[in-house]
Structure 1
């Protein structure tokens, strides 16, 4: 067992079983042994690779998406350009480079990165050297202003809870210990009534169904929605997930780019769950656009034209790499269909680029 696993076993032995959310939080954000605090989890040497690391085109197009929304909403003189969970800072670096085409937006926007990991903040600072950027722990730390917000593979890493519908009622899935002191799955006693935060579809799930909730994600989108309703702006979340809301287990672990048992390597494997886009949209209280497939969004934003422009000045090998990246980001059998994009705006705001009016 990993060092974090041994500590969690001691915690369970003395304090009782953990919810899936408590287990995820420890595995991802433990100050000494969490996936996001002890090392860089991205790239070939990490556990997974995100779209901004595949090609500069992704961040460039999302940056220009934010700039176009700013223009469509009357070019407010002061606003916030926010990224949630900015990884290595690659997306924001590419976005700001592309936004040089819209200098008035860069003049109006304060760039803010919401990042919990001190290690990743240092990586982001290097990627954005020479840029005026500030970091914050949460949206609550930011001033009141129009927001133009980007979140790529952010919501999938937020802690979830899982519930099983039994003949006696709902029971929460928990992490406990077996006779050999190894981590194992268990269930709570039946709960009185429905668990909090279930969508109608999940409430109506049949006996034997497992459902997931993400209170943290819904709280964050609630704050995003409040700011959009009050001040205007737009938000774009790109992630793997599902719509409409439905029952089913999506909790998974990735270690060194391969799936693994979520209980086998605490602190050494990335833990995620698919995003319930319907639940996020409802919790926001804002006007939802989409979700649409990532491939469809990128095509609408002009990724093929951008690829051709890049290839015009590329070596043959670079051109081949651009074609590979384009396919990986947009093809239905790659990331193009699995990943989806949800946009949020205030009621009455223009439909964002890439989303039906």
Structure 2
């Protein structure tokens, strides 16, 4: 993430009085014209995450670490195993967008049992979530961007449901050409419109002759962050595990969605009051890492990764220890492995001289 982080609101939307975000955005659009979808998404998510803890039954959505301790524990063991087979170098553990710190707390507990007790670095800009993280991992160091992460030790980076919240651009086919989708406003009613034409060279060749109305999504912010981290990993040593819902592109899709109260909402209503996200193009992320010299593995499904890491054995062990929770543990395991297990994918990258990560071997 560069110093002009995509999660920091654009200067046009900085609060000048007691205006709510929709009014500020509508005023900026009235003054300067429609804005790219990426700018709309960046401002909306910056406000959303800065103003609340969105997780859990009382929030808007639930992530895998909040479903079961097993998720974080298995990710921690993945990290410890890779570190051990790499020769136990000095490492720093990094999490991007660490939510409430639940994954980190569970992963660190598992890593510590395996002999790995690294310094912890969180990349997080939300004051509300930083408070929650501090309660669970008080010794962490916080960063606004990846630019200030340590430059000496190897880095083991975990990004669970991070890339899906980064801004996207949408390119729409109209007639014989492709146009960038912009956001216009009528008072505080926001709506997508077709903007300027884009050069045909930016459209993947297999998709150039798609039918009118077709949409391609790209995320330059995601590519920039992945390249930056991959370059660090190549220079310093280490690995990264990115888990998110997504696909292997190029593909035609309109995956922009809003979630509020565990239900889908209109992404163009009340910006800043619900979570905006889009499916992740893992093919593009892998190519970005490889362009920086890193080795990419996968993606594999979350089901395959957790299965290879031993979730069935861990479920059975916890059930033996706490028989009264056996049914709940099995339900949690099923939730992680069934619907979420096929929707979510996991991409790993390493420095070329590091071992093949667990879950990605033959």
* Same fold (TM > 0.5): yes
TM-score after normalising by structure 1? 0.91
Aligned to 2:326: 319
Aligned to 1:90: 102
SS at match of 2:196: coil
Is the CA contact (8 Å cut-off) linking 1:82 and 1:148 kept in structure 2? yes
How far off is 1:314 after superposition? 1.4
SS at match of 1:230: helix
Alignment of 1:268 with 2:277, yes or no, is: no
Alignment of 1:140 with 2:152, yes or no, is: no
Which of 9, 18, 42 does residue 35 from structure 2 map onto? 18
Aligned to 2:228: 223
**CA distance 1:314–1:161, shift in 2 (3 Å):** same
Q: 1 CA distance for matches of 2:79 and 2:131?
A: 25
How far off is 1:203 after superposition? 5.1
Alignment of 1:152 with 2:160, yes or no, is: yes
Alignment of 1:341 with 2:346, yes or no, is: yes
How far off is 1:194 after superposition? 3.8
SS at match of 1:159: coil
Aligned to 2:111: 99
Which of 291, 296, 314 does residue 299 from structure 2 map onto? 291
Aligned to 2:358: 353
Is the CA contact (8 Å cut-off) linking 2:303 and 2:341 kept in structure 1? yes
Aligned to 1:119: 128
Instruction: Report the count of equivalent residues.
Output: 340
- Aligned CA RMSD, in angstroms, stands at 1.7
**CA distance 1:57–1:17, shift in 2 (3 Å):** same
Alignment of 1:301 with 2:309, yes or no, is: yes
**CA distance 1:200–1:168, shift in 2 (3 Å):** closer
Q: 2 CA distance for matches of 1:100 and 1:327?
A: 27
TM-score after normalising by structure 2? 0.90
Deviation digits for residues 22-41 of structure 1 (CA, Å, limit 9, x no counterpart) = 11111111xxxx11011101
SS at match of 1:325: helix
Aligned to 2:9: none
Which of 160, 165, 171 does residue 163 from structure 1 map onto? 171
Is the CA contact (8 Å cut-off) linking 1:201 and 1:246 kept in structure 2? no
How far off is 1:119 after superposition? 1.5
Q: Structure 2 regions of 5+ residues with no counterpart?
A: 1-18
Q: 1 CA distance for matches of 2:122 and 2:189?
A: 38
How far off is 1:44 after superposition? 1.0
Aligned to 1:238: 243
How far off is 1:5 after superposition? 1.5
Aligned to 2:54: 41
How far off is 1:193 after superposition? 4.0
Q: Structure 1 regions of 5+ residues with no counterpart?
A: none
SS at match of 2:360: coil
How far off is 1:209 after superposition? 1.7
Is the CA contact (8 Å cut-off) linking 1:199 and 1:279 kept in structure 2? no
How far off is 1:202 after superposition? 4.9
How far off is 1:246 after superposition? 1.2
Q: 2 CA distance for matches of 1:236 and 1:328?
A: 21
Deviation digits for residues 89-135 of structure 1 (CA, Å, limit 9, x no counterpart) = 000000111112222x21xx221111111211111000124xx3211
**CA distance 1:342–1:274, shift in 2 (3 Å):** same
